[in-house]
Structure 1
Amino acid sequence: MANVTEIDQSEFQIRGSVQLRRDRCATTTADQRLLDRHDDTQWLHTDPWRVLRIQGEFVEGFDALAEIPKAVTVFGSARTDPGSPEYRLGRELGTALVQAGYAVITGGGPGAMEAVNRGASESGGYSIGLGIELPFEQRLNEWVDLGINFRYFFVRKTMFVKYAQAFVCLPGGFGTLDELFEALTLVQTHKVTKFPIILLGVDYWSGLIDWIRDTVLPGAKIDESDLALLHCIDSVAEAVELITASAK
């Protein structure tokens, strides 16, 4: 399947289920309008109604994902180059997860997310993408079989966790780190159980692991058992083995 032609992001925008182009594109996102500081009281009249939109996003997500098979959520950078080893690793992971009987869930964007969706789709598996309204890097990639676009990060995050049996993090930036530490917090506080968290790519992730082990742990900010929640490996086969073992 050929790559989708790149579209000038200034002329293309997704707002929930709505697609906008050219001068119809908004200059702000729903999350920004919700979270930004307000200097007047107009928000008192708009925020209660915004709750209904948030509720609608939860309902739409639950309805679309309720009957998907067991799945694994994979995160990684939208900026991963299609010709890079990290992209190939993502495709390999998507293929291996499908062969092990899992659907894959990603953020639905380009880069590492596209790689995982592509590996799953090419292998005949269920490839799911949960997009987000952003001023950039927001279009669902062409390898997504089931795609949902969200306005609010916290709704999307709920879907990532609720319908997954594990998290795998490929090399990524702030977004990947955000999801990683949210998942760790949920497991640490027993909000979710039997939920392996895997960092795939030892060279990339070892500095973070070293900092947690050498600084955070000695400072008594976490326990040894918390550090053990992270599995930092290079092997896709080992990642799949950890996931399948945790389900037993």
Structure 2
Amino acid sequence: MSDRVLVVTGGSRGIGRATALAAAADGFDVVFSYVSDAGAAESLVAEIGAAGGRAVAVRADVGVEADVLALFAAADAVGRVAGLVNNAGVVDRAARVDEMTVARLERMFRINVIGSVVAAREAVRRMSTRHGGRGGAIVNLSSAAALLGAPGQYVDYAAAKGAIDSFTVGLAREVAAEGVRVNAVRPGIIDTDIHASGGIPDRAEAMRGAIPMGRAGTAAECAAAVLWLLSDAASYTTGSIVTVSGGR
């Protein structure tokens, strides 16, 4: 049984995948969720295994409580949960608020907010000294959209990530004396396929002019911030949100 298991939601692509790779290289046994792309999940498991690490892929939709419970049960079978990265999230097609349906809003908040809260609940139940745990760290994935509002594109997504910011600070203070640190990473424009899922596949390139550093960020750069927050180097850091946005 491992003494250092990291749960990563939405680990088969983008920032989640980069985080899983970096965490495995750092000595974590990684248990990650994916929703539909079994090939990508299997490829990641194989890549981590080939490098001498250990990864377990679990098909789980974080918007479904039973799936989150199954994900953590799989982690328990590997060993002691020492960390959680709440990475899974969705966007939708660009739309104004006056064009949005309730079905779209419910999906946005169920996955991006409720799923993260439920996953954090399960992590705290395992890591908090109040529950007999030995401590650990949670890192939530926010977005620069929480500050910018994403007008004309996805105000609902921005609002969901604003909720993640508030949740990060509140939970951090709630469990600070129980050995659990809670922080967030707030990415800006990152070159991943999440833009394609929102119907704007070339968004990262198109936004270059709005980024002071003149380029989009990479998933690996976000993963580096996540790994720092998980590490002992950040032992006195909780309730913080680290912005990785190229100055935007």
Shorter-chain TM band: 0.3 to 0.5
TM-score normalised by structure 2 residue count: 0.45
TM-score normalised by structure 1 residue count: 0.45
Larger Rg: 1
